[in-house]
Structures are given as structure tokens and as C-alpha cells.
Amino acid sequence: MKSSIKEVAHLAQVSIATVSYVLNGTKRVRPETEKRVMDAVRKLNYQVNPLARNLRKGESKLIGFVVSDFGNYFFQEIAMGLEAQLAAAGYSLILIDSKEQKEIEIENVKNLIAQAVDALVIAPTTEDCSYLSLLLANNPIPAIMIDRRPEGFVSDLILATNEQGAYEAVKALTERGHRNIAFMGEKRDSTMLERLQGYTRALEEAQIPINANYIRFGSHSSGSQRILKHGTMYHHTFDLLSNHNITAIFSGNNMGTIGIFSCIKETNLKVPEDLAFITFDDEFWLTMTSPAITAVAQNPDEMGKVAGNLVLERLRKNPDEEYSYQEIRISTHLIIRGSI
């Protein structure tokens, strides 16, 4: 049914080594011999057995991508960019969802190592990544972190220009005369703190004092989009709109935006007349609301591509060759829509 290199060799009247050389182009072979081999290959419809090759070469041509939340469109886009880049180099991507739970993330990494992936790309659920040092200690494969700065583990790192993105967004608000601007961040992690810095810088530049009441963080456990609609951020929004006279909200990420916008929708506030709204992360549905929502667009496709290239680069390097880890920032841009 499935033919092996042995049968090809036999049919072509050569040794199996020669077949391998022809197929891989790893050694000179007389044209005549090559033809005999290729004819046999075609006749038998031979394809190499990747299982055998993998064992011999000690690689699997598999890359694992551990995603903190696969329900988040942002990571889906990254995955697509990554996959495109890796597929071109003959690698396949194993995608696996941590559902924002650290234990699942650790389990996922273990499983991927058990599948002998050649490298890992990880969007960690939390910053504590010390477990990776342990798991990779006697299994030194490249690991590239994305979206969040890990603690307890050094590696290549791909991040957005969070501070700058937030700064530009909030600046767009101050320029329109807003002074009471809320900052709402779903998760309090390094990424969100960078965005908070951008918020702070824009306010300072406009000589607006920081009001701690206007800065809100959500619960750490984010759930599905449906749950988020009436989650912590929803209630924070309700409080801000009822008890504080804010005129604009800047949402630190797309997940928080769900709760915030759900609340806004339920009030009778007019956007943008009564309340201006901007969110980090551009997502498709932001254009389907009335009015459409202004957003700081990241470039997840680009992040995925860059991650892919970095993986390939690392894989080409000799493992003990010295290598300095890279930190790459992917730029954001503000897309202005009707909500401000």
C-alpha cells in the first residue's frame, strides 16, 4: 500500500542511500541514475515517511503556539500570520488554548514538549513564566513570547508599542477638549501598565491632573465574550457614569470594551456627544455599532509573521551558538471613527 525507500531502491537498482541522496539533493548523482530513481519514485508513488525522517533528524517540523485566550480575535490573527510564515518553511502549527488559566497553560506546554515540537510561541496568561525555565531545562528548544513580558524566563519577545498607542488615543481625546477621561484596563499586567503610562503622559502633556478615581482595573479572570458583557468592567462603567462626571472613556483592551460598551448601550447617553469612547485593539464588530468605535489598532498579523521569522531564525542557529534575545515592538495606529 504505502511504499518505502527500500522498494524504490530495489526498483531503481540502487542502494537506499542513493535514493535518499537523490531525493534530498545531498550528494552528486549521475543524471542517468537520478532518472532511474525518480522514475521508480513516480511509479511507486513514493513519499518519504516523515516519522522515520523525524526520528533520524531529531526534529518534528512542528511548532507549538500556546494562546492565552483563543476566543480573542487578536490571537486568532496572530495565529494566522504565524501559520502563513511557518508553512512556507515546511513547519506545521499546533494551536492550543489556555483559556486564561495558568494551569492549563502549563499543561499545554508539557503536552507540546511531549509532542516534540521544535519550538514554542507563547502568549502567556500571566507574566509569571518561571515554570518554563524548569520545563525547558532538559529540553532546550527555542521559545518566543508574545503580547506580555514574561517574568522568571528570558527569551525573545514581541510586543506592541503600547505606551505610544495609548498616548495617541488619549491625546485625541484631550485635543477634543476632554479633561475627565477614564482609563479602564481589564487585566493589570505589564502590557496594561504600559498603556496606562501612555494615558498618563497624554494627560500630563495636556496639564490635566491624574484622578485616581478615573482609573479602573477589572477582575483578573476574564471569561467568554458573553460573560464579559456584564462583568467587572460593566459595573465600573456604571459607577463612573453614575457617580463621576467623566466625558470620555479609554478602554485598555478589547475584552474590557465588551463590558464597557454594553453598559454604555444600556444608558441613554449619546456617543460621542455625551460620552466619547476609544478602545485599544481594533476588532471587526467595532464598525458594526452605531456609531462605529474609534480604536487603537494593533497589527496582530504582523506580530505573527515576525514571531514566525524569529522562530525560523532561532531554529537555524546552532543551539550552543551564542545568541542575544530580541525584543521587538510592533507599532499601532489610531483609527478614528464616530465614537469621538
Partner DNA sequence: TCATTTTAGAAAAACGTTTAACTACTATAA
Partner DNA sequence: TTATAGTAGTTAAACGTTTTTCTAAAATGA
Positions that interact with its own copies (CB under 8 A): 1-3, 45, 47, 49-52, 54-55, 58, 60-62, 70-71, 76, 79-80, 83, 87, 92-97, 111-116, 138-140, 225-226, 229, 258, 261-262, 265, 284-285, 287-290
Nearer to DNA, 116 or 292 (CB): 116
Q: Three cell numbers at 158? A: 514581541
* Nearest alpha carbon to residue 23 among 37, 6, 2, 39: 37
Binding mask 266-285 for DNA (x = CB under 7 A): --------------------
Among the candidate windows 48-56, 120-128, 263-271, 326-334, which touches DNA by CB under 7 A? Answer: 48-56
Of the residues 11, 38, 44, 57, which one makes contact with DNA according to CB under 7 A? 57
Buried b (16+ CB within 10 A) or exposed e, 130-156: ebbeebbeeeebbbbbbbbbbeebebb
CB of 34 vs DNA, minimal distance in Å: 7
Of the residues 10, 11, 17, 152, which one makes contact with DNA according to CB under 7 A? 17
Rounded (5°) CA angle 269-235-268: 15
- Contact (CB, 8 A) for 252 and 186: yes
At 44, the amino acid letter reads: L
Strands 92-97 and 248-251: unpaired
Quick one: how far is CA 209 from the chain centroid? 35
- Contact (CB, 8 A) for 72 and 65: no
CA distance 329 to 157: 8
Q: Three cell numbers at 69? A: 485566550
CB of 191 vs its own copies, minimal distance in Å: 23
Should residue 5 be labelled a site residue for DNA when binding is judged by CB under 7 A? Answer: yes
Of the residues 55, 134, 210, 227, which one makes contact with DNA according to CB under 7 A? 55
Should residue 316 be labelled a site residue for DNA when binding is judged by CB under 7 A? Answer: no
Residues near DNA (CB under 7 A) are 2, 4-6, 13-21, 23-24, 26-30, 32-33, 46, 48-49, 51-53, 55-58
